[in-house]
Amino acid sequence: MQNQGTLMVVSAHAADFVWRAGGAIALYSERGWTVRVLCLTYGERGESASLWKEGKSLEEIKRIRREEAERAADILGAEIRFLDVGDYPIEVTPALRDALVQEFRKYRPDVLLSHTFVDPYNADHPRTAELVREARILAQAHGYPSEYPPIGAPQLYSFEPHQPEQCQFRIDLLLDITPVFDKKRQAMECMQAQEHLWAYYTDVAKRRGVQAGRNSGQPIVYAEAYQRVFPSVGGEFV
């Protein structure tokens, strides 16, 4: 099948893309899109508490988190790349920014997904969101040095954070992920060290499904919530 488009997900830590956008990834992958996940870090320091408690070393933890994320990406139908820049905190350097610009230039996403711009519980998340927003702008500029040509204007969405009410998260889109929820659940179950989140994010998907039903009148069971960064453009009220 010919490539129908490219969805790129920029995830601060190894597992964020699964909890927050796993449904979108599976959905678009099934439609013949290239879906590419960029993990800035493995979440080795900030999101691997149970592994540290077991006494694992930093390198072991990174390996375990990497393998889990690879399995999850595989289930969801996505390519995955790890930049391994170190988490808690992620330091935004010119080199990291350039790495994202070159990724965007090379893979030319039609749609970009990343974190919210506010999150009082996690400083890496808003920093990643700002990085993505800026790299997208730089990738559009003719004068930015690259072997690839400038990109157009891909839409950018923030996926739902852990505590949306504390993150100024406004829901602009409830994405129906009912047809692919099984894959999302399987992908979540790859995250051995975070078993408590499997049920938690299943419940989130159900609640968003109920709301999607109420906002549309359609029979939707599972959904993911997204906030749009730029206006939609097109010929339809959607």
CB of 187 to a second copy, least distance (A): 19
Torsion of CA 29, 35, 40, 42, to 10 degrees: 30
Give the nearest distance from C-beta 105 to a second copy in angstroms: 13
The per-residue DSSP string of 84-108 comes to: ----SSPP--HHHHHHHHHHHHHH-
Question: Which one among 141, 182, 192, 219 touches a second copy, defined by CB under 8 A?
Answer: 141
157 interacts with a second copy by CB under 8 A: yes
Within residues 2-61, the interface with a second copy by CB under 8 A covers: 7, 24, 27, 44-46, 48-49, 52-53, 58, 61
Please state the closest distance from residue 99 (CB atom) to a second copy, in A.
Answer: 14
Asked if 198 and 185 touch (Cβ cutoff 8 Å), the reply is yes
CB atoms within 10 A of CB 133: 16
What part of residues 172-211 is at the interface with a second copy (CB under 8 A)? Answer: 172-176, 200, 203-204, 206-207, 210-211
| Three-class DSSP category at 138 | helix
* Stretch 208-227 residues interacting with a second copy (CB under 8 A): 210-212, 214-218, 220, 223, 225-226
Three-state DSSP class for 120?
Answer: coil
Considering the complex, state which of residue 61 and residue 75 has its C-beta at the smaller distance from a second copy.
61
